[in-house]
Amino acid sequence: MTADELLASPTTVASSDQPGAPVVLDALTRTYGATRALDRFSLDVAPGEFVALLGPSGCGKTTALRMVAGFDSPDAGQILVDGVDVSQVPAQKRDMGMVFQSYSLFPNMTARDNVAFGLRLRRQRGSQRRQRADELLELVGLAEHTAKYPHQLSGGQQQRVALARALAIEPRVLLLDEPLSALDAKVRAELRDQIRALQQRLAITTLFVTHDQEEALSMADRVCVMSAGRVEQVASPAELYAHPSTAFVAEFVGVSSRIPVERHGDHVTLFGQEVAVRGRVPSADAGPLDALLRPEDVSVHLDPEGPGVVQHHSFLGATTRLEIGFADVVIKTDVASSLARDFALGTRASLRLAAQDVLVSPRRVPAPVVD
Amino acid sequence: MTLPEIGDYFLSEEMMDETPAPVVATRRRRRPRLGRGVILLIAALYFLVPLYAALDFSLKNLQGHFSLSPLTQIAGQDGFTGAVLLSFKLSVTTLVIEMLLMVPTVIYVHLRLPRFRRVMEVITTLPIVIPPIVLILGVLQAARPYIWISSSPYLLAVVYVVLAMPFVYRSLDSGLGALDLKILVEAARSLGSGWITTMWRVLVPNLRSALLSASVLTLALVFGEFTMAQLDNWITVPVWIYNTSSNNPHVVTAIAMMFLLAMWLVLTLIISLDRSHRRNKGRLQ
C-alpha cells in the first residue's frame, strides 16, 4: 500500500489513543535589535492538525517554531498547549518532538540508541526502550539499520531516524523545521508523503516550517503564509491557491502574472472584456489596479495577427510553461507539452481569459529608472 | 493498526537502497623532493641528537662505561617515590579542576557567546605571555594570608590550571568547532534532556579526542613544570631531578629518559585507542 492509499483508507483518521494537543499562538512578538521577527503573530492549531508555516527567508516562521519548541522566548504573547501557557516552560519539559533541518542525530550513538535516548530520560527499562526503539525504526522502514551509526546512514535515512526519535517520546506536538530541505528531490518527495501518512495515522498535532510551497500545499491540512513576522493568510491549500487574500499570497503561492487593468466599479477590463473581481474589491483610494493571473486563468491560441509573442518555454513534464510578451508585460500560461512545439519562440499568439473572475491588487509602483 | 503494520508503508526499495555517498579519494603520486628530505633530516637531527646524547649518558656508569646500573638504581633513590606521588596527585587534581572548569565554559561560549571566542583566545594566551616566576610570586603573595591553601601543595594545582588553560581551551575549541553543537544541544533538550545530561551523554562522548589531547597536554605540563614548584618549596619530579642531578647525574638522566618514554607511551596508547574507537564507530560528523 502506498502513502496515498493509506491516506484514502477509511481508518485514516487518528487511530492513536492520545490525539495531539491543541496549540494556540497568541499575539507572539519577538524583536532582535531593530528587526521585528514576529509581529503579533497568532495561529490556532486544532488537535491532530498538520499546519505548515510557509514564507520567504526571514519571514519569522522558524522563530515561531523555535518559540513553540522552547528554544526562544517571545517578548510578548502566549503559547498555549492544551490550554496551558508554556511560554516560560523550559524546552526539555515541553514534551515536543522536533526534527531539524540539518542532521541532528547524536554521532556517538547507534540509530537504536538515538531513538531510545528520550525513553532513557523517561526512565523506561532497558528492554522496553530497546523494543520501542526497534518498533519505531521498523515504522520508518529502518529495521535493518538499528545498529548503524549516523555516519553509516544516508541523509534520508538519518532524517527518518530523527523522525522516529521525535515520535518515540509520544510528543504532544511534533515540530518539523524544514526536515526535507537537505535531501535530494526523489527522497524528498517520498519522505514527504510518508511523513504525512504517519502524521495522519498517529494524529499528532504538527507544525511544519518550510519555504517550499509545493511541500506545504501537498502535506498540510492548512497553510499559514507569513511575511515580515505577520500572518498573511491561513487557509487550506486549495483555498489558498484559489482565493489568495492578498497580493503577497497570490504571488508567493503558485505562479502569477501581474497585468495592469482598468477599474469599472466592481469589474475590471482585461483582454477587452469586463471581468468580475475575485474576493474583496479594493477601494477607489487604492489607485490603479493590476490583475494577478494564474497560468490556468488564461488560454493561449496561435494567431499570426495576435498581439503576443512567445518569449520563453519551460518544460514541466506533462505541461510546458510559456511566457508570452505583450508590450511591456509578460504573461505565463501552460499548454500540454505535446502541443508546445506549435508555440516556437517568436510565434505570435493571442490570449483568452478562461477564468470567471480575477484577483486584483493595487498597482505596484515601478522602481525609478536611474541613469 | 500496530506500529510495524504502519511501518510497511515506509518500506520503499529505492530508499532502502540509499547508501552513504561514496567518498572519492584522489591520490596523487608524490615525488620525493630533495629539499623536503633535507628539511626533514635537519628537524629529525634537531630532536634526536639530544635524545640520543641523554640516552647514551644514562646508560653509562661513573667510569664512563656502558652499564644498566643507572636504570636499576632509580627505584631506590631517596625522595623519588614521594616526588612521583606528589606530581601524580597534582596532575590528577589539575586535570579534574581544569575539565570541570573549562568544558562547561567553552561549551557555553560556543553556544551563547560566540562573539566572545576571540576574547577568550586572547585571555587564554595570557598564561603563556606572563612569565611563570611572575605568576607564582603573585599567587604566593595573594595566598599568604590563607594558611590552609598557602601551606598546601594543591595551591600549585590551582596555578597549573591557569598554566594549562591555553592548551585545554584550544583543544576543546577545535573539538567543539567540529560539532554541530547548537543542533545537538537542541535535539537533546527537545527530548527532555537537562544541561548536565546533555553534556555528559551527548557532548562529552563526542569531544573524546579533544578531551584526550587536552588531558595529555595537562599531564605533560604538570610533570614537567619546575619554576613554580621550586619557588613554592614542593619537591615534584622536576625539582627532585634538579636537586639530585649533582649527586648522581647518570641516574637522574635515566629517570628523565624514563619519564619521556612513559609520556610517549601514554600518548601513543591514547592515539591508538582513539583511532580504534573511530574505526569502530566512525568519524564524528
For residue range B185-212, what is the model confidence (pLDDT) as tens digits? 999 999 999 999 999 999 999 998 899 8
Give the alpha-carbon dihedral of B233, B236, B241, B243, to 10 degrees.
Answer: 20
CA atoms within 13 A on the CB side of B206: 25
Residue where the block lists cell 631531578: B241
User: How is residue B239 written as a grid cell?
Assistant: 625539582
Q: Do A151 and B191 touch (CB under 8 A)?
A: no
Say whether pLDDT at A147 is over 90.
yes
User: CA nearest A137 in B: which residue?
Assistant: B7
- Asked if A138's CB is within 8 angstroms of B4's CB, the reply is yes
CB contact under 8 A, A91 and B3: no
Chain-chain contact of A2 with B189 (C-beta, under 8 angstroms): no
DSSP type of residue A238 = H
The half-sphere exposure of A280 on its side-chain side, counting CA atoms within 13 A, is 10
How far is Cα A277 from Cα A266, in angstroms, rounded to an integer?
A: 6
Chain A contact for B284 (CB, 8 A cutoff): yes
Of the pLDDT bands very low, low, confident and very high (cuts 50, 70, 90), residue B30 is low
CATH topology of domain B79-284: MetI-like fold (1.10.3720)
What CA–CA distance (Å, rounded) separates B132 from A20? 62
Res A366 pLDDT > 70: no
What count of other Cβ atoms lies within 10 Å of the Cβ of residue A9? Answer: 14
pLDDT tens, A325-362?
987 889 999 999 998 888 999 999 988 888 888 888 88
For chain B, what percent of residues have pLDDT higher than 90? 41
Is the pLDDT at A14 greater than 50, yes or no?
A: no
How much is the CA Rg of chain B, to the nearest whole Å?
Answer: 25
Q: Cα separations (Å) of B188 from A36, B27, B191? A: 29, 39, 5
User: How far is the C-alpha of B223 from the C-alpha of B237, rounded, in Å?
Assistant: 7
pLDDT digits (tens, 9 = 90+) for B134-153: 988 999 989 888 888 888 99
- Indicate the residue type of B57: F
Asked whether the beta carbons of A119 and A195 are under 8 A apart, the reply is: no
Task: Write down the pLDDT at residue A86.
Answer: 94
Predicted interface score ipTM higher than 0.90: no
Span of A214-228, A319-333, B70-84 with lowest mean pLDDT: B70-84
When pLDDT is averaged across residues A255-274 and rounded to a whole number, the result is 86
Average pLDDT, chain A: 87
φ/ψ of A304, rounded to 5, equals: -60, -25
Residue A7, pLDDT > 80, answer no
Identify the pLDDT of residue A171: 92
Instruction: Please state, rounded to an integer, the average pLDDT across all residues of chain B.
Output: 83
CA distances to A142, A161, A165, B72, B282 from A110, in Å: 12, 10, 12, 50, 11
**Chain B residues touching A17 at Cβ < 8 A:** none
By CB atoms closer than 10 A (0-12, 13-18, 19+), residue B24 is exposed
Q: Residue A104 and residue B194: Cβ atoms within 8 Å?
A: no
Residue B45 has pLDDT above 80, yes or no: yes
Residue A3 pLDDT class (50, 70, 90 cuts) = very low
- Among A43, A52, A29, A106, which Cα is nearest to A215's? A52
Question: If DSSP codes are grouped into helix, strand and coil, which group holds residue A170?
Answer: coil
Beta carbons of A194 and B10 less than 8 Å apart: yes
pLDDT digits (tens, 9 = 90+) for B98-108: 999 999 999 99
**Do A107 and B285 make contact, defined as CB atoms within 8 angstroms?**
yes
Closest CA to A51 of A262, A248, A196, A201: A196
B contacts of A169 (beta carbons < 8 Å) = 191-192
pLDDT at A356: 85
pLDDT for res A9: 37
Using a CB-CB cut-off of 8 Å, the residues of chain B touching A201 are 1, 6
pLDDT at A83 over 60: yes
* Residue in the structure block whose three cell numbers are 486563468: A297
Domain boundaries, chain B: 79-284
Q: pLDDT tens digits for A162-200? A: 999 999 998 999 999 999 988 888 888 888 888 998 898
Q: Residue B66 gets which letter from DSSP?
A: B
Q: Is B182 on the interface with A (CB under 8 A)?
A: no
Say whether residue B13 is in contact with chain A using an 8 A CB cutoff.
no
- pLDDT confidence tier of residue B19, bands split at 50, 70 and 90: very low
Q: Tell me how far apart the alpha carbons of residues A156 and A186 are, in angstroms, rounded to a whole number.
A: 10
| Average of per-residue pLDDT across B202-231 | 90
Share of chain A above pLDDT 70, in %: 93
Extract long-range pairs of B64-73: CB within 8 Å, 24+ residues apart.
B70/B248, B70/B250, B70/B251, B70/B253, B70/B254, B71/B254, B71/B258, B73/B248, B73/B251, B73/B254
A-B contacts at Cβ under 8 angstroms: 142
Flag the least confident range among A72-81, A153-162, A259-268: A259-268
For residue A369, pLDDT beyond 50: no
Task: Please write the tens of the pLDDT for every residue from A99-144.
Answer: 999 889 999 999 999 999 999 999 888 888 999 999 999 988 899 9
Probe site for chain A from B5, B6, B10 (most A CB atoms < 10 A): B10
* Residue A27 confidence (pLDDT): 94
Alpha helices in chain A (DSSP H): 3-8, 61-69, 111-121, 126-139, 155-168, 185-202, 213-219, 237-242, 247-252
Section B89-93 average pLDDT = 95
Q: Which three cell numbers stand for residue A162?
A: 530523527
Question: How far is CA B76 from each of CA B82, B244, B260, rounded to the nearest angstrom?
Answer: 12, 13, 20
What whole-number distance in Å separates Cα of residue A218 and Cα of residue A236? 10
| Residue-by-residue DSSP string for B148-188 | HHHTSTHHHHHHHHHHHHHHHHHHHHHHHHTS-HHHHHHHH
Mean of pLDDT values over A234-252: 89
Query: Which residues from A are below 8 Å from B282, CB to CB?
Result: 107, 149-152
CA distances from A232 to A34, A59, B213 (A): 22, 11, 53
Residue A103 CB contacts under 8 Å (≥ 6 apart), including other chains: A150, A155, A158, A159, A162, A182, B180, B285
